[in-house]
């Protein structure tokens, strides 16, 4: 396991991060994802830590708070050192029926930070992330609340998730202008079958030295190995009842046409190759892997050992390339005379 710096900080996080969205058993909005009971959560966390993972990601909305509760309980059940773990959670989603139980207002952030601390059973959150954009709340209000949480010691670092490039840059600029804590990371969807992040956000992350945490690195199971051009509908897996995130299937199957034989050649799984492709991208800090079964976790952990040749990476890059889009093609053309 390798450890990477989280954005422009000195904090080292494992290149694989254990996602705990699968923790919980609920009839709510996460019922198609959350299948793991407390005993299963304990086993998955123990195996992850034994493999060198020090980074855990959850959110207040996952299974209506059960994921946070079970993550915290698993840490205690296993007798793990809290100081050796980097625990990340999120705020923004709806946590009740009241009009102020959602969003990125000062009230909701402060209320939910306290609730998350209680559910996790910890005194502090290492990385507190806004789960998405709130169009009703000014960034000044949101960032001052995050800044106060850092100053109080209840939060160590702050991050963003699921935002547009202009929103992230506006937030960074607001923090700079008001001398507030800055977002050190972005949690976003990125796969070899979904490279839209490369249009605007990845250049921004590289320019501003913001770390990248990747969610759904297997495209909601589409890159798990269960699917191929001949078998486009998996018999099991999450996409049967929860077809998310959206993927350009034509491009995805072009990529899978390469990954399936390449996996056989390397003695690896398609899932391992899909994760390894992300690990070969310099912008990626950590990949969030979630599992409902130990066999899935074991398979994903092996991705850190997969290596690609330059020719293999080129082949995958060509098959997964995004169609040219303005202003990208113009900037590529006009920038030819100013290359290093």
Point out the residues that are catalytic.
62
Pull the structure tokens for residue 95.
């946590």
Report how far residue 281's alpha carbon sits from residue 231's, in angstroms, rounded to the nearest whole number.
Answer: 29
**Greatest CA separation for the chain:** 60
DSSP state of 225: S
Radius of gyration of the chain (CA): 20
DSSP states of 73-140: HHHHHTT--GGG-EEEEEE-S--SSSTTSSSS-HHHHHHHHHHHHHHHT-S-EEEEEE-S--TTS-HH
How many Cα atoms sit within 13 Å of 59 on the Cβ side? 24
Pairing of strands 12-14, 16-19: unpaired
Q: Which ranges in the chain belong to alpha helices (H)?
A: 38-50, 66-77, 106-120, 139-152, 165-178, 201-208, 249-266, 270-279, 294-301, 310-320, 328-334
């Amino acid at each position: 396991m390798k450890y990477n710096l989280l954005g422009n900080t000195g904090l080292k996080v494992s290149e694989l991060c254990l996602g705990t969205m699968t923790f919980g058993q609920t009839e709510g909005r996460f019922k198609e994802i959350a299948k793991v009971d407390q005993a299963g959560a304990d086993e998955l966390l123990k195996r992850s830590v034994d493999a060198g993972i020090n980074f855990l990601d959850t959110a207040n909305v996952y299974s209506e708070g059960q994921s946070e509760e079970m993550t915290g309980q698993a840490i205690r059940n296993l007798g793990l050192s809290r100081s050796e773990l980097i625990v990340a959670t999120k705020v923004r989603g709806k946590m009740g029926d009241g009009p102020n139980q959602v969003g990125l207002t000062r009230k909701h952030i402060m209320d939910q930070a306290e609730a998350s601390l209680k559910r996790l059973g910890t005194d502090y959150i290492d990385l507190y992330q806004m789960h998405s954009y709130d169009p009703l709340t000014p960034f000044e209000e949101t960032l001052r609340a995050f800044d106060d949480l850092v100053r109080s010691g209840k939060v160590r670092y702050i991050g963003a998730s699921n935002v547009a490039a202009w929103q992230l840059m506006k937030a960074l600029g607001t923090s700079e202008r008001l001398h507030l804590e800055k977002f050190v990371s972005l949690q976003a969807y990125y796969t070899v079958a979904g490279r839209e992040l490369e249009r605007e956000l990845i250049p921004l992350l590289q320019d501003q030295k913001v770390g990248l945490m990747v969610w759904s690195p297997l495209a909601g199971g589409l890159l798990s190995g269960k699917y191929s051009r001949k078998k486009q509908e998996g018999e099991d897996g999450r996409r049967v009842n929860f077809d998310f995130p959206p993927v350009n299937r034509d491009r995805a199957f072009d990529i899978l046409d390469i990954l399936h034989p390449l996996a056989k050649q390397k003695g690896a799984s398609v899932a391992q190759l899909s994760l390894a492709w992300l690990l070969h991208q310099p912008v990626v800090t950590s990949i969030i892997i979630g599992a409902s079964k130990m066999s899935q976790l074991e398979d994903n952990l092996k991705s850190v050992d997969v290596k690609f040749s330059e020719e293999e990476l080129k082949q995958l890059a060509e098959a997964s390339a995004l169609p040219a889009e303005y202003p990208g093609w113009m900037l590529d053309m006009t920038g030819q005379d100013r290359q290093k």
